[in-house]
Amino acid sequence: MLEKYAELIVKQGVNLQKGQELVITASIECFELVRAVARQAFAVGAKDVIVDYTDEKVTRLRYENCPVEHFQEVPLYFAELKNQYALKHAAVLSIVSSNPEAMKGIDPMKIQTWNIAVHKTCQTFFDHLDMGIDRWCIVGAPSVGWANKVFPDMSDQEAVQALWQAIYKVTRCDQENPIEAWNEHRRSFERRVQILNEKKIKSLHYHNSLGTDLTIGLNDGYLFAGGGSYTTDGIYSFPNMPTEEIFSSPDRNQVNGTVYSSMPLNYNGHLVDQFSMTFENGRIVDFHAEVGYEVLKSIIETDEGSHYLGEVALVPYNSPIRNMGILFYNTLFDENAACHLAIGKGFGECLKNGLTMSKEQLLEKGINDSLTHVDFMIGTKDLSIIATLDNGEEFVVFENGNYAF
């Protein structure tokens, strides 16, 4: 199963090409998957596989013992490494496995300060990912801490094994031919994407019993996408495994109302739960959180762009991950169990000819720009989404939490 998962990641996730380099970031706990991915990468003709191992416990020690000023400076070698691999068009794989409460008690501003500094100094690296120049993929692998959070009544070994089985299932690795299963999965998005892109939607109105009452405007020339995407070299890949969403980027200045979270958000080892945001003319003007208020505040105050939406994503309540009945405490998985939004950076691929535009041109067209992009889940079993079209007619997108078309 591990080898099937690794093959899927290499051939569908990053769709690694012969002669291309692969850069992997992963926890030391994930070394078995890293080695399996490396084997598969070299089997398809990788020029090289470079691994950047992390250690959650050491990372926590840094945050505990270093002042916030320490995280304002990014070592030159760190930035050079990332930017140079971007210039060489390496594929980028991130294996996530963090304990959802690994940074509990750590000042969230230290983490946010480091994230901002990294994005600024590694701008070439992130621009190549954000603008569809280089392929990237995020996948999951169990750690003991994460597995214990998801399955608290099991032993360490049982919990890790149960989480592996859940990951294999939601990534379709438990099927006879995972590669073909993902080809079919790709085709399953196409009908609805085509309908949404032909409807000439002006705005989407969200409403549910939690209190969500939010209207989101779409840009002229908006595009919905789903499953995977093409990079500028014309190669298709899946940036997220698993994925169940159809998404677009809204008009950053046309968001009004209040939205309530429907699931916890795990952000850099902190949990944020039972929170809401209020928007006026696109900008967040008020927010609340029963759990993790300071963390939410640090996310929203990353920069000016983090006060605006960068993504709207449609995921039916009756989805494979939701139906498993597992709360993963990991956004990669939980965002595919519910409709979600994201504050921060928008996507050039979600606008006609957007991948040929600069960040400044995209911003002018209404696509948000930011150093961050943070998804949060809002879908419920009674969520309704009503689209208003250019001609004034209404089109029901979601009814009772699921697609109405």
SS3 of residue 67 by DSSP: coil
| Cα–Cα distances in angstroms (integers) from residue 185 to residues 4, 67, 227, 244, in the given order | 17, 47, 7, 9
pLDDT at 269: 86
- Residues of the chain short of pLDDT 70, as ranges, are none
Q: How far apart are CA 117 and CA 275, in angstroms?
A: 27
CATH of 2-170, one of 3.40.190.10, 1.10.630.10, 3.40.1830.10, 3.30.56.10: 3.40.1830.10
Q: How far apart are CA 28 and CA 273, in angstroms?
A: 29
Residue spans per domain, the chain:
2-170, 191-235+242-403
The model scores a pTM over 0.95? no
Cis check: omega of the bond before 67, within 30 degrees of 0: no
| 18 phi, psi to nearest 5 deg | -60, 130
Q: How far apart are CA 235 and CA 17, in angstroms?
A: 9
Structure tokens at 311: 């993504």
Q: Which of 47, 20, 390 is nearest to 217 (CA)?
A: 390
Q: In this predicted model, what pLDDT tens digit does every residue of 317-347 receive, in sequence order?
A: 999 999 999 999 999 999 999 999 999 999 9
The amino acid occupying position 175 is Q
Strand pairing report for 201-207 and 384-389 = antiparallel
- Contact predicate 140/333, CB 8 Å: yes
Structure tokens at 163: 């989480």
Could you tell me the sign of the dihedral formed by the alpha carbons of 8, 315, 313, 288, in that order? negative
DSSP type of residue 28: G
Q: In this predicted model, what pLDDT tens digit does every residue of 70-104 receive, in sequence order?
A: 999 999 999 999 999 999 999 999 999 999 999 99
